[in-house]
Structure formats: structure tokens, C-alpha cells
Amino acid sequence: MPRTTTYLELSQDGAGAHKFYEVTVDGTVVSVRYGRIGADGQLQTSSFPSEAKAQAAAAKKIGEKVRKGYAPAVRGQRAARAVTRRQVTSAPSTARAVAPVLWRFRTGAAAFGIHVDEDRCWVGNQAGDVYTVSHGGEVLARYTLPDGVKCLVADDFWIYAGCDDGKVYDLSSKLPFAAYDIAADVDIFWLDIREGVLNVSDRAGGLTVIDHEDEYQWARKSTGEHGWMVRADERAVYHGHHKGVTAYAPDGSGELWHTSTPGQVLFGWQEEESVYAGTARNVVQRLSKATGVVEATFRCDTAVYACATAPGGRFVFAGDSSSSVYCFDPDGTRLWKLGTGGGSALSMQFFDDKLYMVTTDGSLVCVDASPAAVAAAQQGTVPVAADIKSAAALPTYTPAATVTTVSSPPPGAVVVECVQDAGRLRVHVVSDGFEPSWNVQFPRGMRQPGTRYVVDALHPAEAGFYRVRGEIRRLV
């Protein structure tokens, strides 16, 4: 029997679908390739005892996809999703002294994503690499994702990487997996996640909100374009764009306030009562979350690419387009300005008297921001920065093409099951000791009706659902 190939696509703008599914039958071998339109996708191959059984298996797979809305198509006729990569320039620093850089790790490509917690630092670059690095500068692990990393965000224990392929990958378990799939008409600029709810700001100045089930909730179009800022809390979603900052009700019911800023918003940060907007007109502004009123202005010498605060806003940090980093007190008084010794900071975070930055040359940089180290730097005394190298035997993790299977749950693990619920696939808990009516946040790509899975642990969310912690395996 000759080799046959069936190519299907599902593309529903605004509904999070922009995918292809291709089934090839070659004798007794069935190959399935699937993924985002415009990408190579992932490949799975299965062998069958006869050509007839191979044909039957292929027909079943195709029928399942057609029932979900996939339709025959011609590969290459539909364009891949639009992707805008941030184009920035970086000039030499105008500061008289250089910051006390403790160590520098060069990731090998332009980088924007950073997250720092008690255990490690995370950095993601446009090559799709995410590295974890200890606070002392030891490279611990590498995650290789299918496309460029736009940003890294944390939601309690969970760490997510938003990528150019429109997927948001959960990096919290042993192997990363796609937790969210953003609509193809959304050209992603920045992300924030709170209690499993994903907020997406985009090139057109749009704001899209997706819930823990990876389902579209609401969207708004702001007055400005280029949404490089989105932050969220229980009171609002704060969206920064080239016309200022707009706050929306968490349920999308309306605009709460809008504040114009001097120049386009290029970065955002938040504390409990305030949001901070770094702008192209050389300032960071602190805005009241309740009213949008400007509470303080922090003046730099060139455009602000990144900003951050010490806990409670006791210090405000900024990185400008001329490779300088600043520190201010809460009322806007500049305390110091120092050169980075490299590129301009595109993201930054303060932790335990250290300022961590990712710069235009793709480096993760650790600066000693303690008063003693800064005072010494201002007098021209700085440490010799360590140039951190990645170990050859570094553990590397990539998204798995298939879900690992187990024949029985390990001790302490939790069993969940995928079920049809009002025409939608949901995941419920089977193990005792949990609320059976609650849904489990679970990757759509792994859901198969009637299938049971084993997870390491479940944690309750305030909104009344469970979140998976650890590895996901299929129970057979």
C-alpha cells in the first residue's frame, strides 16, 4: 500500500487555536506530527502488526481531530503567528563609576526573562534556553524550549516561561510542559500570572485574560499600542502601553482608571499598594493602585528599559538605555548611578542586597547593591567579576513528546481522571482526601477522556480548583 499523508489545521482567532495535525501511514508504521502552524512540531511514531490495523489507527486519530474542529488544509498556506522581538539600542554608560558586579553569566543570545527566588535565579533568552543559576553563580540546569523566551513569571511555587510560539511552559516539574496556548492573533509582548489566571499584553495594546483551564475569559483594547507592562493582583490588572497605564477590573467588567505617562511604558513593577512604570522619557513613575494618581517620579538620564524595587518600595532601581543602573529612595531622590560594565538592563530584580539583571548582550549579572559595596564602587573599588561558565555535564530538560506511563501510583502520589463535563474535557481528583467537585488545572495537550494520570501533589487555589505540583504520568 502506498504511503499516505493527511494534513489538518485548526485555526480559530481569539479562541487560542492555531495548530496543525499531520498523519502519515507507511505500511505498518503510523507517524503523527503536530504543533503550532508554522513550526516543525513534535513527532510520534507507532508500529502495528498489519497494514490494516495501521490504517484503522490513523483513521481513528483523524476522526478525533475532525470532531474537534480540525479541517483538511495545505501546509504553508496559512502564515505562522506574528512575533515581535524587542528591538533596543544600548549606549555606553555615562556614570562616573562602575557597579560592583560579583559575577556574570553569558547565555549566548539576547535575554529578557528573569526571576529570582530563595533557591536560585532563572534567566531565559531568545534562543529558547532557560538556565537556573545559584546565588553564588553556579549554573545548575538548562531548559531547552521550542521557541524564544519572551519573559519568565512566577505564581507562588510555579515558574512559567512565555515563548514566541504562543505557549506558556510550566518549568516547575522535572520536564517542562505547555500549560497555556495563546491565540494566534495575539502578538505577545509580556505576561503575568496570578492564581492560575494568565494576563497577556500584546503589540496592538490589547490585554487578554485566560483562566486556569486555558480558556479565554475576556479582552480589552487600550488606547495605546506596544503593551510592555502587565501586572495583576486581586483588585485589578494594570496594563502599561505607549499612552500610559490603564487599570481594569479583574473580571473584565470595566476600566477602573487610566493615567498618562511621559513617554511610552517600557517596563512595569508592582508592590502591594503601587505600580511602577518605566518610560521612554527617562522616568519611573509610582502610581497608586487605588486611584492611578502619580505618587512619585524617579528621574534617570536616558530611556528606562527596566525597573524594580526592594521589598516595600524602600529602594527603587532603574536601568537605562546607556548601560547605567540607578537607585532612588521612595520620594524620588537619586541615591546613586553606576555603570553596569556591559549592556543595558532589560529586566531586573532585587533580592537579599543583590540586584540581578539581564542585559542587552544576553548576560545575567549579579550586582552587590549593599551600601558598603556601592560606597566602595563610587570610590573606584570594585570586585573582579567572575565570568561564569556552563558545565559540560549540565542537566538539560526539554518538553517531552509523550507522557511517561506508570502501571501503579507511587507512594504518596495523587490519581486524577480526565472526564467529559458539559462537552468539555475536565480533570477531577480520584484519590481520597480531596474535593471531588473541583477541577484540576491540567495541560490541554495531555487530556484524553477516560484516562487516569498520576501527579506528585495537588495544591488548592483560592478560586476553587487544584494545581498540579511535580511530574505528570499516565496510568496504564
The total of other beta-carbon atoms located within 10 Å of residue 445's CB is: 18
Q: Looking at 9-23, 123-137, 220-234, 363-377, which range is the least confident one?
A: 9-23
What CA–CA distances, in Å, run from 27 to 7, 43, 62, 117?
18, 17, 17, 52
Q: What pLDDT sits at residue 421?
A: 87
For the stretch 316-333, pLDDT in tens is 999 999 999 999 999 999
DSSP letters along 114-162, please?
Answer: EEE-SS-EEEEETTSEEEEE-TTS-EEEEEE-SS-EEEEEEETTEEEEE
Q: What pLDDT sits at residue 134?
A: 97
**Strand positions, DSSP E, 369-443:** 386-388, 396-397, 405-406, 414-421, 424-429, 440-441
Percent of the chain with pLDDT over 70: 97
Q: What pLDDT sits at residue 326?
A: 98
Q: What is the pTM of this model?
A: 0.83
Which is nearest to 340 in space by CA: 322, 315, 362?
322
For the stretch 394-443, pLDDT in tens is 999 998 777 889 999 999 999 999 998 888 899 999 999 999 999 999 99
Cα 225 to Cα 264: distance, rounded to the nearest angstrom: 9
The mean pLDDT of 197-203, rounded to a whole number, is 95
Alpha carbon 20 to its chain's center: 23
The mean pLDDT of 136-155, rounded to a whole number, is 93
For the stretch 37-68, pLDDT in tens is 777 777 888 889 999 898 989 988 888 888 77
SS3 state of residue 411: coil
Q: What is the mean pLDDT of the chain?
A: 91
Q: What pLDDT sits at residue 1?
A: 64
Q: What pLDDT sits at residue 74?
A: 80
Is 50 exceeded by the pLDDT of residue 14?
no
Q: What pLDDT sits at residue 15?
A: 40
Q: Residue 393's pLDDT band (boundaries 50, 70, 90)?
A: confident
CA dihedral 357, 313, 300, 334 (to 10 degrees): -110
Residue with cell 535565579: 121
Is 90 exceeded by the pLDDT of residue 19?
no
Q: Is the CATH number 2.40.50.180 carried by domain 101-388?
A: no
Q: What pLDDT sits at residue 210?
A: 95
Pick the CATH number of 405-475 from 2.60.40, 2.40.50, 1.20.1300, 2.70.98: 2.40.50
Cα 250 to Cα 235: distance, rounded to the nearest angstrom: 6
Extract the C-alpha cell encoding 320.
537605562
The total of other beta-carbon atoms located within 10 Å of residue 165's CB is: 24
Q: Looking at 15-19, 382-386, 425-429, 434-438, which range is the least confident one?
A: 15-19
The mean pLDDT of 179-206, rounded to a whole number, is 91
DSSP letters along 162-223, please?
Answer: EETTSEEEE-SSSS-EEEEE--TT--EEEEEEETTEEEEEETTSEEEEE-TTS-EEEEEE-S
The mean pLDDT of 334-355, rounded to a whole number, is 96
Q: Residue 166's pLDDT band (boundaries 50, 70, 90)?
A: confident
Q: What pLDDT sits at residue 13?
A: 44
Extract the C-alpha cell encoding 364.
545575567
Is 80 exceeded by the pLDDT of residue 224?
yes
Q: Looking at 13-17, 126-130, 166-170, which range is the least confident one?
A: 13-17
Q: What pLDDT sits at residue 78?
A: 63
The CATH code for residues 4-72 is 2.20.140.10
Is 80 exceeded by the pLDDT of residue 296?
yes
Q: What pLDDT sits at residue 365?
A: 97
Q: What pLDDT sits at residue 261?
A: 97
Cα 462 to Cα 194: distance, rounded to the nearest angstrom: 11
Residue with cell 502610581: 287
Domains of the chain, residue spans: 4-72, 101-388, 405-475
Beta pairing, strands 255-259 & 244-248: antiparallel
The total of other beta-carbon atoms located within 10 Å of residue 52's CB is: 11
Is 70 exceeded by the pLDDT of residue 80?
no
All residues at 6 or more sequence positions from 407 whose CB lies less than 8 Å from its CB, including other chains:
475, 476
